[in-house]
Each structure stands twice: as structure tokens, then as C-alpha cells.
Structure 1
């Protein structure tokens, strides 16, 4: 299947931000009164849907926007640079060179995404939708398809969580699941992954052969 639009998640897909997330989660848990993630829980948590994690943490849903805002601020002020996964630069360059339109949909802040990606990588994206949305990613994917003039069958959404798969499937878009992000592969398969990427260059092989 040839895809003319590739929409990417950011954290855990392009940016290796999970180590920072674990550090930030400790501070946010103390501030907002929900359970800390313990080091020995991490692997088991990767095998559970995001909805279960939120429910079992004791985190009230109404606090999510405030917590997400605090997280983005902490990332902006973080002194050590958050790295991209190996091969992101090459992969994005190859897709852009083959004429694949690139989109970015993330709950992270635009300035964080631009700083971590770097100016050259950020310019490669034809459409960027950043920031927290209480409606989730489905309407954002739908809007990006509309702006690109692309039908769902011509697009793929690439991410690392089961919620990414649910959003993609809800809009009739293929879900490309990466193996290097937050959720374990079996969780992503259960979320309806159309393609599984074990390495970054697997994305290039599929989209820009």
C-alpha cells in the first residue's frame, strides 16, 4: 500500500523522552496527589493500556490538562537535551525526498517539538498540530487529512501507544506501531497495528522504498 501522508506522534516515536517522563512523573505525582511509578513496575506497565494506567493511578481525569501543562513546562525548562531516536533524521529526510507529506500530531508543546527535532527536521513537516486536546487525537487526524486533501486509505499514523492505534482506526487510517516506544508490541497489536516497525529504517522501507 502506498501512503502519501505519514502522520507521526512525537514522544516515544521520534523523541526518546521516556526517561524524562519517568523523572517528571515522580514530581507531578507528588504535586497532584497520584501514585508514583516505581522502577520495578515499568515493564509491567508497558503491557497495559493507557486507560488502565490512568484509572489505577488514582488520577482524576479533570486534572489531566493541568498535569499535561506542567509536564510540557518541565520539558521546556529541562536542562539536558532530550534526544531523538537513532535514525530519525535520515528517515524523515528520505520520506520528504520521496514526496511523502509529513504531519505531526502531539500533545506536547510546539516549542518543545521544534527544539528537540531541530529546525531542519521541523521544517520537513507539512502540517503540525501540537498541544493538549480534551477531544484526543481523532479529530486532529481528521482535520489533518482534510487540510492535506488526502483520504484515510492514503494515510498512516505512526505512534507508540494503544491510544494512537485507537485514534487512527477510528478515522480509518492505518496504524504503524513502533517497537522502541512506551507500549509493548502485544498491546500495539491488540490496538490494531497495520504495520509494525522494529527499526527506524523499517519506516523508510515501507514508505519510501
Structure 2
């Protein structure tokens, strides 16, 4: 029985790419990195994170230090990160079934919380922000221990290969949100594939 579902946010729940590109380009201009054109998105989705960093002339080691600056630009834009179509209904359905919904993301928790509440979602109490994009497994383990969940009690929903890699380290089943950031050519080792948000509701019911 599914007791808990942990979600990634950007690319999984939120279609935030347009806003983040605008914010990133302001950041890149100030810091001297290559900007991103919207027409480059399809090519970038097919690149791994190290490849994207090289393409943008952005040292991958700088990500933890750049993130707070990037989020500051997002906040300054005063735009609410939009949810993908069908996401609110999916979350409402899962919540009505008594499933514990949580979020573990690289995004800032206040930005996520603002997006959810702006969309009438006020029941997600656990929003955990991972400072290091390749270390979500540490937060996942901490969260599971806090609530005494086992991998058979929960699963994680995300859109990137790094999310899969984190789940492999924790033993947590993984559902790949196919509408997200990483192209399918980058995805390996997912347990399930969701073509629509409603698929996740079905997975939870059948688990």
C-alpha cells in the first residue's frame, strides 16, 4: 500500500523552464556565462548536466554557490511558477486518498510553497530543498527515517536521471515523469514511466 509519494518539483510538478531561463540569463549576464536561447531547449534536454555546463561555459562545481543567486532573480521577477496541466487534480486525488505528499527538490522551498499555495494547494507540509543537485539521496534517506517509511511504503516521482540515481542509492521505487526536462535518451533504470499525471494516481492505487 502506498503511504507516501515524494515529488521532484521543476519539470515534474512545475513547468518552470521559461521563468528559470529568464532568471538564468540575468544571472549569466552578470556572471559572464553563456546565455540560453529558448530555441536551444530541445538540444539542452538531450544533454547531461555536465554537458550542459560545458555548453554554457559554467563550471559544474559552482552550482551550489550559483543557486542562491539564481533563486534571488526568480523572486525578483515576482512570477509564480506554473504547474503542468493535470498536476493539481492529481495532487488533490492523492491527498483525498490519504497519501502523504512531500517534495524533495533542488529549488528553494519558499518558491515551491508560493507556487503550490497560489494554485490552491495547502496540504503539502514537507518541502525539502537539496543544496547539492547530486545529493538528493541524503534528504530522501533522512525523510524516510523521520517518518519510519520503508521503500515499499513510498515512491519518488521525478523527471531527470539524477533523480533516478538518487533513488537507486535509497532503494526507493522511481516513476519517471516523461513530460519533464530530461529527454528519454538520457533516462536509464526507471521502474515506471508516467505519460500523464493521472498515471501516477493509478500507480498509487495499484501499488
TM-score (norm 1): 0.88
1:198: which partner in 2?
A: 195
In the alignment, is residue 63 of structure 1 matched against residue 62 of structure 2?
Answer: yes
1:25-40 equivalences in 2 (<5 Å): 25-40=24-39
1:165: which partner in 2?
A: 164
Does structure 1 retain, via aligned residues, the 8 Å contact 2:27–2:73?
A: no
Q: CA RMSD in A?
A: 2.0
1:2-151 equivalences in 2 (<5 Å): 2-118=1-117, 120-121=120-121, 123-130=122-129, 132-133=131-132, 136-151=135-150
Give the deviation of 1:126 after TM superposition.
Answer: 4.5
Give the deviation of 1:94 after TM superposition.
Answer: 1.2
Does structure 2 retain, via aligned residues, the 8 Å contact 1:110–1:131?
A: no
Gaps of 5+ in 1: none
26-35 vs 84-93, which moves further? 26-35
Question: 1:115-136, CA deviations, whole angstroms, 9 ceiling, x for partnerless residues?
Answer: 1011752x42252212523762
Task: Count residues in correspondence.
Answer: 205
193-202 vs 77-86, which moves further? 77-86
**Cα gap change, 1:148/1:51 in structure 2, threshold over 3 Å: closer, same or farther?**
farther
Gaps of 5+ in 2: none
2:152: which partner in 1?
A: 153
Does structure 2 retain, via aligned residues, the 8 Å contact 1:5–1:103?
A: yes
**Cα gap change, 1:42/1:28 in structure 2, threshold over 3 Å: closer, same or farther?**
same
| Structure-2 separation of matches of 1:81 and 1:64 | 23
2:204: which partner in 1?
A: 207
| Structure-2 separation of matches of 1:29 and 1:18 | 15
| Structure-2 separation of matches of 1:199 and 1:51 | 28
1:171-190 equivalences in 2 (<5 Å): 171-188=170-187, 190=188
TM-score (norm 2): 0.89
